[in-house]
Amino acid sequence: MKKKSRKPQHKRNRAKVEAPVEDEPAAIKNAPHSFVIRRGERCSSISRLSRDFRRMMEPFTASNLRERRINKVKDFVHLSGFFHVSHMCVFSLSSQTLSLKIIRMPKGPTLTFKVYQYTLAKDVISNSRKQFVDEECFKTAPLVILNSFSGEGKHLKLMASTFQNMFPPINLSTIKLSSLKRCVLLSYNPVSKLIDLRHYSVTVVPVNLNRGVKKLVTRNIPNLGKFEDIADFVEKGHLLSESEADDEEAHVVLAQNLKCGNLAENQSSLRLHEIGPRITMRLMKIEDDLMTGEVLYHDYIEKDAIEVEALRKKRAQQRRLKEQRKHKQEENLKKKENDKKEHRAKTSKQGKSGEITEQDKLLLKDAEEAVGDISDEDDREYYRKEIGDNPDEELFESAGSGNRKRPFIPKGSNYSLKPKKPRMDKRKQYEEDDRLARQDGKRRGNEGKDKKGKAGKFAKKGMGDDFRGKSKYNGGKKNNTGGKKSGGKKSSKRK
């Protein structure tokens, strides 16, 4: 009986429809995308820090990127072109330090920072007096603010351009103020050469409004159970507590209308709520290529022009050798492919036309030389020399005759010219073995009786016991009949 399938009937013959692939807008394609991964030793806090950094880089980052120990940086580099990744941030933990590498894809440069201090986002939010986290703010890219990166030195300019290019640019003519809900602050200290990274969420509150009206406008409807009328709440709004005082330096004039009572051409107050993470780091070196190129800048190692030139020549020679090996491998691959094509062409021509190639002719010639000119006449002559008489005609008749006809075997039949093996009847073989075993047992019994009858006064002591078999256990007692004659009356009574 045919086994029933577990799949329902309405799902068996359902036609597979491919989902339509929608092209992303040009703004999203051209926006800088990023990978945030971790390398080195395993640590739960570093894993959490990398996740917080991904959350800061949203929405143009791989939030659910899965990493494994077998994955290498080269694997992520190969995938970067398919996902339009422009930057890769690598947290590397060793036994001594924690470093952050920011790589510009696909050909560098690579900036290596040493992390001195860091604080996770959950610790920053839990220590704040007034916790505020808006999940909607992570749907848009943050605003980048750079402080004190205008000093002397090409490394400062390179750092500033790298941090700016990690986030999408802002067009002041088309930007909507409602999309600016977060900001990333990077502050450089020229004395200690440390960079402080902070992450804030931005809220806008109207200014010069009654506190009661402000609460009605900016928040949900408050508890009005203590008031008889809404007018009492508005009039007595000055008695309500205000958690944060307005700072005059944070007052701005808006160019566009926003929600919660923030109108254009009116003053509003900007408030920042830190949502983490915090990172304090220092630039260690800048490399030209992907983590293995020429060192353009180093914080505490300086080399002479001669050493730099020697390293440059050595690196150029290694690059030249690598290109030569690659070119040689490509030539070998092409040669193998051409040889395969020629072999296929020769075999296909031989199969179609049936012509014999020169190589086949040489093989046939070698086979004929190996066989030689052996004939029946040589065999007869050898027989005459050795025996001294003419051989019979029947002796060499079968070897010389080639008129034997083979049976006609139709195509597709299972008939074979090899003789079949005889079928063995194992039952008959077992019966024959049993019959022989019984005969052997009878023969041994008769021989034992004859020897027992011949035993008398000429028999040795204990000879009868040998034919009885000593394997029988007698309880450890001594054999009483061993010292007496085998034919006595007393021994027969005891038996």
Q: pLDDT tens, 122-152?
A: 999 998 887 878 888 899 999 999 998 987 8
Instruction: Supply 360's token pair.
Output: 């086949």
Domain co-membership, 197 together with 322: no
Classify residue 163: in a domain, yes or no: yes
CA dist 191 and 463 (Å) reads 117
Q: Which of 119, 283, 97 is nearest to 194 (CA)?
A: 283
pLDDT of residue 189: 92
pLDDT exceeds cutoff 50 at 488: no
Classify residue 481: in a domain, yes or no: no
pLDDT exceeds cutoff 60 at 384: yes
CA distances from 154 to 66, 106, 144, 158, 444 (A): 36, 21, 20, 6, 112
Mean pLDDT of 10-27: 63
Half-sphere exposure of 483 (CA within 13 A, CB side): 2
**32 or 254, greater pLDDT:** 32
DSSP string over 169-232: ---TTT--GGG--EEEEEEEETTTTEEEEEEEEEEEEESS--HHHHHHHHSS----TT-SSHHH
CA dist 39 and 75 (Å) reads 13
Residue 244 pLDDT class (50, 70, 90 cuts): very low
Count of domains for the chain: 2
Q: Could you report the per-residue pLDDT of 387-403, keeping only the tens digit for each?
A: 777 777 766 665 545 55
Average pLDDT, the chain: 76
Classify residue 314: in a domain, yes or no: yes
CATH number of residue 83's parent domain = 3.40.50.10480
Half-sphere exposure of 362 (CA within 13 A, CB side): 3
Classify residue 117: in a domain, yes or no: yes
pLDDT exceeds cutoff 50 at 471: no
Q: What are phi and psi of 81, to 5 degrees?
A: -70, -35
Which of these ranges, 201-210, 296-305, 343-352, has the smallest mean pLDDT?
Answer: 343-352
Classify residue 170: in a domain, yes or no: yes
Q: Could you report the per-residue pLDDT of 161-191, keeping only the tens digit for each?
A: 999 999 998 887 888 888 888 999 999 999 9
User: Which residue do the tokens 């007393």 mark?
Assistant: 490
CA dist 111 and 158 (Å) reads 9
Domain co-membership, 197 together with 339: no
Classify residue 12: in a domain, yes or no: no
Q: Report the 10 Å Cβ neighbour count for 132.
A: 13
Which of 222-231, 240-249, 267-276, 467-476: highest mean pLDDT?
A: 267-276
Q: Which residues pair with 100 in a beta bridge?
A: 91, 113
3-class secondary-structure state, position 68: coil
CA dist 7 and 259 (Å) reads 53
Q: What are phi and psi of 401, to 5 degrees?
A: -75, 130
CA dist 102 and 113 (Å) reads 8
CA distances from 491 to 165, 173, 472 (A): 121, 136, 19
Q: Report the 10 Å Cβ neighbour count for 363.
A: 11
Instruction: Supply 186's token pair.
Output: 């990077």
pLDDT of residue 4: 58
Percentage of the chain with pLDDT > 70? 66
Domain co-membership, 129 together with 196: yes
Max CA separation in the chain (angstroms): 150
Domain co-membership, 35 together with 68: yes
pLDDT of residue 282: 95
DSSP string over 369-422: HHH-S--HHHHHHHHHHHHSSPPPTTTTHHHH---PPPPP--TT----SSPPPP
Range of the domain at 114: 26-207+246-298
Q: Which of 335, 298, 338, 315 is nearest to 112 (CA)?
A: 298
Classify residue 70: in a domain, yes or no: yes
Considering only CA atoms, give the Rg of the chain. 51
Domain co-membership, 134 together with 269: yes
CA dist 196 and 198 (Å) reads 7
Instruction: Supply 161's token pair.
Output: 């351009």
Mean pLDDT of 329-357: 80
Half-sphere exposure of 316 (CA within 13 A, CB side): 6
Classify residue 132: in a domain, yes or no: yes
Which of these ranges, 105-109, 232-236, 473-477, has the smallest mean pLDDT?
Answer: 473-477
Domain co-membership, 180 together with 325: no
CA dist 63 and 40 (Å) reads 20
Domain co-membership, 95 together with 173: yes
Mean pLDDT of 458-487: 49
Domain co-membership, 80 together with 119: yes
CA dist 204 and 177 (Å) reads 10
Domain co-membership, 292 together with 320: no
Domain co-membership, 133 together with 281: yes
pLDDT of residue 352: 57
Instruction: Supply 303's token pair.
Output: 């080399």
The residue among 282, 317, 344 that closes a domain is 344
Domain co-membership, 197 together with 332: no
pLDDT of residue 71: 86
Domain co-membership, 313 together with 277: no
pLDDT of residue 36: 94
Q: Answer for the pair 212, 171: CB distance below 8 angstroms, yes or no.
A: no
Q: Report the 10 Å Cβ neighbour count for 243.
A: 6
pLDDT of residue 276: 86
User: Which residue do the tokens 């990744």 mark?
Assistant: 85
